[in-house]
Structure 1
Amino acid sequence: MPETSGRTSPPTDRVIAILDFFAGRPQERFGVSELARRLALSKPTCLGIVTSLSEAGYLVRDTADKSYRLGPSLITLGHRAQESMRVSPAAREELRRLSARFGITAALSAVVDDRITLLDLVAPAGVRPGVEIGQSYPFAPPVGLMFVLWDDGAAREWLAREPTIPLRTDTERLDRVIAECRADGYLVERLTPSGRRLYSLMAGMSATLPDELRVLLGELVSDIGERVYLRGERTGRGRHDISVISAPVYDHYRRQVMVASMHVGKSLPHSAITERARAVVTTADAVTAQLGGVKPIWR
């Protein structure tokens, strides 16, 4: 179970449970009886909560069948949350350009309260990206390399964290990864069956994983940086299976605050990888400029 910072409030937990239930079923409607049954709440308690949420606009009540669905106040709340994370409409427009140019899913993410959180995402029409805005992952090795590559202090702190799975660290390779990514300004991760399973297993989980799951993940990924695609390692003119290409976004203190990413998920030749990587850097630089940020110069 995740650690808590203090006493919890059972009444508040029930409100959160109802909102989370609807959030997981955005196209569906539920009556009080079914909602109470599904969430193991008493019907009077459930009715009181959904009535208050409806009056506040967080749920909408259908007067014909007396069912409930998500309400418009959540749209405003979501926009405010994104603004607080410094995701502006202009930043979203940069993601739209990147997505439209290559027909891919583009995203912005950040480390929020020690968890990697997806702040915004734009996918091509008709594409289900497999991740959702607000989805989060534990920020601990081996997950989160893209958030520490460009900061020596952040990298040391991250490596010192309790890893989510048993790991070995090839220091020489990790040094190469850091040097090359800083020189290029981006990180390219290879697409592997283990990588696909890793993130699907870890989504929404706490940093403290059950021992059985830690062992399973340890079989999937055993070395930090093993999935990184390095230019010097390519052979011939072949194609390479690529998962994600990422680039850092900075604030005015030259600190990395976000990551702009392109979800590729297919095989590409080196020239296409480079083209897409440079486009991701352009997107990240544009968001940096919108934040009034300054991009450090690596020598």
Structure 2
Amino acid sequence: MAILDFLAKHPQERFGLSELARRLHLAKPTCLGIVTTLTESGYLVRDAADKTYRLGPSLIGLGHLAQESLRVNPAARAELAQLSKTFDTTAALAAVVDDRITLLELVEPPGADVGVRVGQSYPFAPPVGLMFVLWDDGALSSWLDRAPTIPLRTETRRLDRVIAECRTAGYLVERLTPGGRRLYAMMAGMSSTLPDELRALLGELISDIGERVYLASEAAGTRQRHNVSVISAPVYDHHHRQVMVVSLQIGRALTDAEIAKHARGLVTAADTLTKQLGGAKPRW
């Protein structure tokens, strides 16, 4: 697993046996046995000329099967690609899998690199994960009952307003705050027990669950631009339950009109993905 994970983090590079063993702190004979078996199974490809290894074609089939098992329709990527092209930004599909937020699909503009990859996961506890429970009363209640990743205050009136307005609008807009761009990259793969340094950073970024949420009603008439981190919309199953989230990674300032335009396109894509699942929106 260490070998596969390492090569997945360097998909455009090739590594020889000695370098793999050194980088991963493996005995060379042990490493040789592993890469030989992985190559015979098609999970790695060995270049006969320079004797280097890279990821192999058998992983493609596994990846597709894993996505299908998580109900990610192959056509979902086309929806994300259209979103990414329309708004020239990264579009992503994510869900809570085995009690962790997991990135299921991702489409970036040409040449972009947001620093995350499909399959990465993050702790799922307040304040991280509001977008995954906002449209489901039961899930929201369970999430709020979890031990938070950092000490939080919850301003109930503000949170109630966020819930009501986001459910009416059909989307959630999170503001971009200092350090926010690095947050998920730092949390990728971490357990819910976070290092003290990261807990301190989170504490600086977020002290209330709903404070980073942009609400159009609060911005009405201000004529200002808003630093937006991400815009998200829910995907539902046939039980009218929120099961996934489709998002646009913004990372820049937008006007109210631009936020609304992005949100309309996003909600349309989320509705299409809901139909692909045979799902339907709940009635609030």
Gaps of 5+ in 1: 1-15
| Alignment partners' CA distance in 2, 1:56 and 1:42 | 22
Q: Does 1:151 align with 2:144?
A: no
What TM-score, normalized to structure 1?
0.91
Match 2:51 to one of 66, 81, 84: 66
Matched, 1:288 2:265: no
1:88 Cα deviation after fit: 1.8
Give the corresponding residue for 2:115: 130
Correspondences of 1:271-286 after superposition (within 5 Å): 271-286=257-272
Q: CA deviation at 1:276?
A: 0.9
- Which whole-Å CA distance do the structure 2 matches of 1:203 and 1:221 have between them? 18
Following superposition, the deviation at residue 114 of structure 1 comes to: 0.9
The question of whether the paired residues in 2 share the 8 Å contact of 1:194 and 1:221 is answered with no
Determine if contact 2:226/2:255 at 8 Å carries over to the other structure: yes
CA distance in 2, matches of 1:114, 1:147: 11
Partner residue of 1:112 out of 94, 97, 104:
97
CA offsets per residue over residues 243-296 of structure 1, 9 Å max, x none? 111010000011111001111111111111111111111100000000100111
Aligned-residue sequence identity (percent) comes to: 72
Alignment equivalent of 1:77, drawn from 58, 62, 65: 62
Residue 185 of structure 2 is aligned to residue 204 of structure 1? no
Matched, 1:99 2:84: yes
Decide whether the 8 Å contact of 2:177 with 2:205 is kept in 1. Answer: no
Alignment deviations for residues 161-192 of structure 1 (CA, whole Å, 9 cap, x no partner) = 11111111111100000000011111011111
CA contact (8 A) 1:114 1:139 kept: yes
Cα shift at 1:135 = 1.4
Residue 231 of structure 1 deviates from its aligned partner by 1.1
Deviation of 1:130 (Å): 2.5
Report the alpha carbon displacement of residue 139 of structure 1 after superposing the two structures with TM: 0.5
Whichever residue aligns with residue 242 of structure 1, its letter is V
Question: Secondary structure, in 3 states, of the residue corresponding to 1:164?
Answer: coil
Deviation per CA, 1:54-73: give whole Å up to 9, x if none: 00111111111211111111
Q: Which residue pairs with 2:29 in the alignment?
A: 44
CA contact (8 A) 1:166 1:215 kept: no
Q: Distance in 1 between matches of 2:182 and 2:27?
A: 38
- TM-score between the two structures when normalised by the length of structure 2: 0.96
Structure 1 range deviating more: 136-145 or 25-34: 25-34
CA RMSD, 1 decimal: 1.2
Letter in 1 for 2:109: P
State the shift of 1:33 in Å: 1.8
| Partner secondary structure for residue 41 of structure 1 | coil
SS across alignment from 1:89 = coil
C-alpha distance in structure 2 between counterparts of 1:127 and 1:37, whole Å:
30
Give distance in 2, aligned partners of 1:53 and 1:124: 32
Deviation at 1:126, TM superposition (A): 1.6
Alignment match of 1:238 (pick from 224, 248, 253): 224
Aligned-partner Cα distance in 2 for 1:111–1:174: 21
2:125–2:149 contact (8 Å) kept in structure 1:
yes
Tell me the distance in 1 between the aligned counterparts of 2:9 and 2:182.
21
